[in-house]
Amino acid sequence: MDKFDSNRRKWLALGGAALGVALLPRRAFASLSTARPRVLTLSNLNTGESLKTEFFNGKSYDKDQLARLNHFFRDYRANKSKNIDPHLFDQLYRLQTMLDTRKPVQLISGYRSLATNNSLRLHSIGVAKHSYHTLGQAMDFHIEGISLSNIRKVALSLRAGGVGYYPNSNFVHIDTGPVRNW
């Protein structure tokens, strides 16, 4: 009887995994499983800059394009840049693919120097002392024409890091830290 139960559990687990894969939207599944170029279109709401970049060519990250993204995500207050975790860009690309949108991501906050983060903490209880922004692993954003609740829902489904929801401030936070949400 124990052997039967063990085999049955394995088959049930395998069937559940197959069903989960089958339920993924085709575009989302393709973006996760195939080696294809990854393009991001962004607007920085604080600097007025726009950027369209193919940061991954289907086989590897493009170092020059990552450098452009690092500059784009800079702490504009202190004019300091940091290498941004490329997985954050991957996460954002997958999010846009699952949302089926080509609209630019409106960046509100990317990298923050410790000085900037500490200054912001003085004026807001929503700024973490040990923020992933200071590590180059977080961003706050919205996408014009896409509801924040839908962005949040899809970001949570990725299970790729932290997801914060700030509807009163009109942004969603994502990071490449542990999976958690608030």
User: Which residues constitute the domain of residue 112?
Assistant: 38-181
Helix or strand (DSSP H, E) at 28: helix 26-33
For residue 143, the Cα-to-chain-centroid distance in whole angstroms is: 12
Look at residue 148 and give its three-state secondary structure: helix
Q: 50 lies in a domain?
A: yes
Q: For residue 91, what is the domain's CATH number?
A: 3.30.1380.10
Q: Tell me the mean pLDDT in the region 75-95.
A: 98
Query: pLDDT tens for residues 38-54?
Result: 999 999 999 999 999 99
pLDDT value at residue 94 = 98
Q: Residue written as tokens 């973006």?
A: 31
pTM of the model: 0.80
Tell me whether residue 52 is in a domain.
yes
Task: Report percent pLDDT > 70 for the chain.
Answer: 81
Domain total in the chain? 1
Question: What whole-number distance in Å separates Cα of residue 72 and Cα of residue 66?
Answer: 10
Whether residue 143 has pLDDT greater than 80: yes
Residue 157 within a domain: yes
* Per-residue pLDDT tens digits for 79-88: 999 999 999 9
Assess if residue 8 is contained within a domain.
no
Provide the pLDDT for residue 146: 97
